[in-house]
Every structure is written in C-alpha cells, then in structure tokens.
Structure 1
C-alpha cells in the first residue's frame, strides 16, 4: 500500500509539472500546438512518461484546459471573493483580470483568449470544455453585477448579462492589443472604459478606487 501510494503521489506530481508547461505552451502556440514530444522536452520528462500520463492528445488538451481554469480561478476569482458581493467584488474581479493578463500569468497572455479561437468552430470535447470555462467566468461577472443591481449600487434597469458581455469584450481586447503591441497602454484604455461604464451605471467613485488608482504603465 505504501509503495502504491508513493507511485500515485509521484504520478500526481509529474502530471502537475507537465500541465504547468502545457498551459504555458498552449497560451503561445495553441492547444493544437501541443505535442507529447515538445511537452516532454519542455518539462524534462520522457515521451513515454507523458504518453502514460495522458494517453491521447485530446486528453492532454482537456487536462490543460482544466489546469488553466484552476490557475485562473486561483489568480483572479478567489482573491476577489474577500470583497463583499456587489460593486466592490466586480471592481476586484476586473482589476484582478487586468493584472492577470498584464503580468502574463500564462506566458502568452490569457490562456482562454489564445485557445478559444482555435476551437470556436470545431465541435468536440475540447471546444465544450473551453466554452464551459468561459461561461463560468461570464456567469460569475453577471452574477456579481446582479448583486450590485439588487443592492441598489447601480441602476435597477441595468442588465447583468449585458454588462458581463461589455466588460469581458474590453478585457479580451486589451489582452490582444497588449500582446500585439508589446505595450500596457491597452490596459489603461480598458480600465478607463470600465470605470466610465460603471459610473454610468451609477457606481460610486469611492467604490471604483481600485480601478482608478492603478497605473498600468508603471506596473
């Protein structure tokens, strides 16, 4: 039993190590760019070891999507949960997402922005996993904004799903433009637009300080 458990622990550690490299590689070259050979080189493990851990390329891709989702949740969503539901949590989520993209938590910027374009027109399990991860993020933004509506922090006529669409579109554009231009200026523009949108919805300036007080060019 001890030997079996030891092998399992070693296998789990190897899997985590390989996936850490897999998500970074995929954020640059896409999920279709993942190969057992290249991943083995990056993680300094054998090809047979990678093949044993994942079996097929699709299983490797699905595992990479889940590993990326967990890294995103730990980086953006969990820290924001210390804030009360409503505008303060929305602000923490938006600011956290900008920091996540700006600091290249994934080597190629946002993992999901990099990989969804590969699979948006390709039916299958990988597309479904990516769609579910994006729906989870959009749904969390919408639900958080819904609390702001219910608490009277923004106008009663505000549509949480509309806000989530607008906010994520701005964030995705900032990520892409930053990568293409090699500049943090797009985050400045996105931050400014998000603040304007929240103010127009009725949010108080004091609640928006976390978004307004950050200098992305100096960060």
Structure 2
C-alpha cells in the first residue's frame, strides 16, 4: 500500500498514469478500461488507484480530459500559430497528421475510435465525447470561415462543408493507419486536403506545393 501511494502521489505521477491509460485505451478501447485492468498493467494494487478515481467512469472521463490536453498541445496550439486564414486551417490538419505519425498511440487513435465506440450510447462518457467533437468541428469551421472572410478562399466557399471534409480526411487517416501504416494514409490525407485548398484559394502560392 505504501508503494502504491508513492506511485500515485502528486500531479506529475497522476499525469504519467493517465499517459499510460491513454495508450492502453488506444489498443483496448475506452470501454475496456477499468481500475482492475489499469492496476494489472501498472503492476500495482487496485486500491492504490482509488486515491484518484473511484469508478470506471471517473477514469474514462479523466482519460478524455487528458487526451484533450495532449491534442491541444500537439495539434491545435501549434497549428494556430500559423498565419490567420487558409494557412492556419492547413497547419492544424498538418499537425494532426504529424501527431498520428508520431506513434504516440500504439493502437487506433483515441478520439477517432472512441467516437465510434460510444456513438449510440447515452452516458456521461458519450456526452463528453460529443462535446469534444462539437468543439473540434467548431474550431475547424471557424478557421475555414476566417479564411473566407480574409479573402483567401473563394467567395461562396462553405465553411461548415470544408470543416467536414477536413475532419473526414483526418478520421479516415486515423482509422486506416493501423492497417496500412500511418505514413501512407496520412500522406494521402495531406495531399487530398492540400489539393482541395489550393483549388479554392484565391492565391494558391501561399500554400505548399503538392508533392
């Protein structure tokens, strides 16, 4: 028990446990998480985990929050440092592909698989995932709208439709990567969006050339 407390003491160690749990969820699914399973893979007693999480649902919600913070750090925040307009939308997509290619998650990519896993379930976990998806789509739609308003995309471009296309390419890359490899599927998702954005751009030269 003393060793368990030492392992779980402090926010740094809590974050390390959540890192491990996120990787585990990418392989076994969010529904497969439990305090017992987590304790087994960490090599500690289940009682040691109760200092932080009292139920399966609590650990699942904590993992979603942890995944969101990692997504912000690896995808959203770096992408949003690009110049406002179409380059910012492209940069967010590019950062997403780079994140998938990084190998940070050994199985299917967390949010992409979790949305499918909880798509038809009414639960606190399902509602949280819907909220995360709504926030992500709102961000993509805002970036597309800003690009139209800046005159960098042709008038009449539908921001919501462009956001849907951008996310669809990302989801396809995420779900296909474990099967055909991240390099191939992320490369295809990059080229597909880049070709589409350059066709819509009023000045395609501000975007990279397709390879």
TM norm. shorter chain > 0.5: yes
Contact 2:86 2:147 survives alignment (8 Å): yes
Partner of 1:216: none
Structure 2: give runs of 5+ residues left out of the alignment.
1-5
Q: Secondary structure at the match of 2:104?
A: coil
* Rounded Cα–Cα distance in structure 2 between residues aligned with 1:180 and 1:203: 37
Q: Which residue of 2 aligns with 1:126?
A: 125
Alignment check: 8 A CA contact 1:148 1:154 kept: yes
Q: Which residue of 2 aligns with 1:103?
A: 102
Quote the offset at 1:44 in angstroms: 4.0
Q: Distance in 1 between matches of 2:46 and 2:100?
A: 31
The aligned runs of 1:19-168 (5 Å cut-off) are 19-168=18-167
Does the residue aligned with 1:58 lie in a helix, a strand or coil?
helix
Residues 54-63 or 136-145, more deviating: 136-145
Counterparts of 1:183-202 in structure 2, within 5 Å, are 184-202=183-201
Deviations 1:92-134 (CA, angstroms, capped at 9, x unpaired): 1011011111212322242101211111000111011111111
Between stretches 106-115 and 118-127, larger displacement belongs to: 106-115
Distance 1:46 1:206, change over 3 A: farther
Deviation per CA, 1:121-166: give whole Å up to 9, x if none: 0011101111111111111111011110001000120111111101
Q: How many residues are treated as equivalent by the alignment?
A: 205
Counterpart CA distance in 1 for 2:170 and 2:10 is 37
Greater shift in the superposed pair: 192-201 or 92-101: 192-201
Aligned counterparts of 2:182 and 2:140: Cα–Cα separation in 1: 26
Note closer, same or farther for the CA distance 1:114–1:203 as it changes in structure 2 (3 Å cut). farther
Seen in structure 2, the aligned counterparts of structure 1 residues 206 and 62 have a Cα distance that, compared at 3 Å, is: same
Instruction: Tell me how far 1:74 sits from its aligned partner.
Output: 0.4
Q: CA deviation at 1:180?
A: 1.4
| CA-atom RMSD in angstroms | 1.9
- Structure 1 residues 183 and 97: alpha-carbon distance in aligned structure 2, compared to 1, 3 A threshold: closer
Maintained 8 Å contact 1:17/1:43: no
Specify the SS of the correspondent of 1:31. coil
Distance 1:73 1:159, change over 3 A: same
Distance across 2 between alignment mates of 1:202 and 1:183: 28
- Aligned partners of 1:18, 1:46: CA distance in 2, in Å? 14
Supply the distance in 2 between the matched residues of 1:62 and 1:125 (Cα, whole angstroms).
8
1:177-201 superposed Cα distances (whole Å, 9 cap, x missing partner): 1211235212222112101211221
CA distance in 1, matches of 2:30, 2:202: 39
Unaligned runs of 5+ in 1: 1-6, 214-219
TM-score (norm 2): 0.89
State TM-score, norm by structure 1: 0.86
